């Protein structure tokens, strides 16, 4: 049986009432399922909004809080799984986290951001450093990163070496010098140098603090952009994730195998 899945990315407009965000994600899940998607990705801090500042602490929830319970019910009812960013409160700290919620009702999987970006994030949240989180879905192994994490080649390589076929990266990339290069050049390179799929899902437009770059994309192991969103406005983009379709690219660019073969023991 060939492992394949339909992936959707929901680029959210930041210029809306934060209280509406969970329902907007649920509505997008329904639209994604209607076009055949099995899994949808939403941006970094999608459930709260990224630019809420210190209020993110009071908005933060646990990984089994009301947001997750509502989305779990939606996932099972609609028949689509979800990865979405949220501010997570644990007993020890606040984290920028992403949670995978499954339509089949299995336990959610949480990833906590390894590398925080600048003082805005560092003043509110705690970084956990490099860490790898993967899960299997429709025969595809998926690794999770968040925003700045994916700009470290070591983070993506670590997931690839653990067997990830696809890395999903909810992000809140701001519109600033260098950001178009990250979205349009760094992301395809991460896919190519690891011969895996990379899905990069940003906000668009602006909130009270930031303007966002948009340019969400799904990139194949050979560096081809399978689907992309514009710089502004909401967008729902989809692509087929079929790792076996890129076997020839992996033969031509055997980076992972050469690395494994060179390791002692």
CA distances from 103 to 30, 112, 140, 248 (A): 12, 22, 16, 33
Residue among 190, 104, 90 at smallest CA distance from 145 = 190
pLDDT (average), residues 127-150: 98
Which of 6, 44, 121, 234 does the annotation list as catalytic?
44
pLDDT in tens, 32-82: 999 999 999 999 999 999 999 999 999 999 999 999 999 999 999 999 999
pLDDT in tens, 67-120: 999 999 999 999 999 999 999 999 999 999 999 999 999 999 999 999 999 999
Which of 6, 88, 113, 151 does the annotation list as catalytic?
113
* pLDDT value, residue 97: 98
* Known catalytic membership, residue 147: yes
pLDDT (average), residues 116-143: 98
* Known catalytic membership, residue 122: no
Domains of the chain with CATH codes? 5-262 (3.60.110.10)
pLDDT (average), residues 189-195: 98
* Known catalytic membership, residue 113: yes
pTM: 0.97
* Rounded (10°) CA dihedral 39, 43, 49, 52: 150
Instruction: Please say whether the beta carbons of 215 and 202 come within 8 A.
Output: yes
Which of 6, 88, 121, 147 does the annotation list as catalytic?
147
CA separation for the pair 206, 79 (Å, rounded): 31
CA distances from 166 to 87, 144, 264 (A): 24, 9, 27
* pLDDT value, residue 19: 86
* pLDDT value, residue 1: 60
Q: Which is it for strands 5-13 and 203-206: parallel, antiparallel or unpaired?
A: parallel
Residue 206 has pLDDT above 90, yes or no: yes
* pLDDT value, residue 265: 77
């Amino acid at each position: 049986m060939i492992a394949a899945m339909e992936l959707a990315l929901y680029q959210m407009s930041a210029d809306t009432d934060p209280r509406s965000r969970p329902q907007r994600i649920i509505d997008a899940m329904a639209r994604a399922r209607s076009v055949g998607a099995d899994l949808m990705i939403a941006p970094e801090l999608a459930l709260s909004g990224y630019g809420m500042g210190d209020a993110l602490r009071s908005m933060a929830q646990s990984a089994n809080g009301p947001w997750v319970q509502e989305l779990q019910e939606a996932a099972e009812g609609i028949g689509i799984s979800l990865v979405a960013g949220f501010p997570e409160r644990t007993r020890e700290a606040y984290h920028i986290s992403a949670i995978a919620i499954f339509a089949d009702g299995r336990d959610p999987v949480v990833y906590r951001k390894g590398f925080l970006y600048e003082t805005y994030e560092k003043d509110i949240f705690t970084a956990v450093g490099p860490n790898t989180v993967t899960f299997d879905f429709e025969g595809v192994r998926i690794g999770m990163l968040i925003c700045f994490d994916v700009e470290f080649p070591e983070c993506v390589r670590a997931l690839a070496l653990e067997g990830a076929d696809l890395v999903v990266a909810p992000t809140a990339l701001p519109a600033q010098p260098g950001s178009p290069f990250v979205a349009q050049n760094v992301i395809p390179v991460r896919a190519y140098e690891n011969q895996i799929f990379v899905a990069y899902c940003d906000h668009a437009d602006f909130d009270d603090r930031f303007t966002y770059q948009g340019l969400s994309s799904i990139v194949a192991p050979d560096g081809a952009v399978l689907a992309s969103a514009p710089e502004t406005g909401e967008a729902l983009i989809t692509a087929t994730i079929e790792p076996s379709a890129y076997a020839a690219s992996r033969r031509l660019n055997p980076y992972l195998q050469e690395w494994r073969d060179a390791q002692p023991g």
